[in-house]
Amino acid sequence: MITVTILEFAMSVTGLPPYDDANIFARILRGEIPCKKVHEDAHALAFHDINPQAPVHVLVIPKGPYVSIADFGAQASDAEIAGFWRAVSKVAKDLGLEAAGYRALTNMGVDGGQEVPHFHVHLFAGRRIGRMVPKAEG
Ligand code: AMP
């Protein structure tokens, strides 16, 4: 299990199908690995990121097997898409993030820096999050 975790931290993925049932978020959805859950409904699960990059760093994932935002937008049903995005907004609201604001972000593929091949939205809050994208070096 440690090996899997280290690999998923270290490697970027394509963000394209096929879906890998062994990815860490699939295992969390199946209850094989614990998570610090903040919300669950028919279409989404939200939990704290294991390596937080802000005072609040929560991940929201759909329950269906979608690799990335590209796969989700192309393949998910209207109900899954509506349910998922409503959950993202609800989680942020229920965590009290709306007053000060927050950033919602998703990474897709290698250039996007995606590491876990199950679509997820990051919610960052609790401080000024800063530039939308770091300046290019050089
Ligand atoms: P990304 O680079 O967008 O694919 O982000 C993957 C995120 O998943 C990273 O912020 C990791 O810290 C987080 N992560 C990896 N494994 C776990 C885990 N077991 N529980 C919670 N978050 C995790």
Mean pLDDT of 18-47: 98
Find out whether 13 and 115 touch, Cβ atoms under 8 Å.
yes
Ligand 1, pocket-test mutation among 47, 50, 110, 123, most atoms within 8 A of CB: 50
Fold designation for 2-125: HIT family, subunit A (3.30.428)
pTM of structure: 0.93
Active-site residue, 120 included:
yes
Alpha helices in the chain (DSSP H): 2-10, 24-29, 69-75, 78-94, 109-112
Model pLDDT for residues 42-69, shown as the tens digit of each residue = 999 999 999 999 999 999 999 999 999 9
Tell me how crowded residue 52 is: count the other CB atoms within 10 A of its CB: 13
Q: Please indicate whether residue 107, judged by its CB atom, sits closer than 6 Å to ligand 1.
A: yes
pLDDT at residue 123 tops 80 = yes
Distance in Å, CA 135 to ligand 1 centroid? 23
Q: How far apart are CA 117 and CA 9, in angstroms?
A: 11
Q: How far apart are CA 116 and CA 9, in angstroms?
A: 8
Model pLDDT for residues 96-118, shown as the tens digit of each residue = 999 999 999 999 999 999 999 99
Mean pLDDT of 2-13: 58
Tell me how crowded residue 120 is: count the other CB atoms within 10 A of its CB: 25
Q: Please indicate whether residue 114, judged by its CB atom, sits closer than 6 Å to ligand 1.
A: yes
Written as one letter, the residue type at 34 is P
Q: What pLDDT sits at residue 134?
A: 85
User: Which residues face 123 on adjacent strands?
Assistant: 58, 104
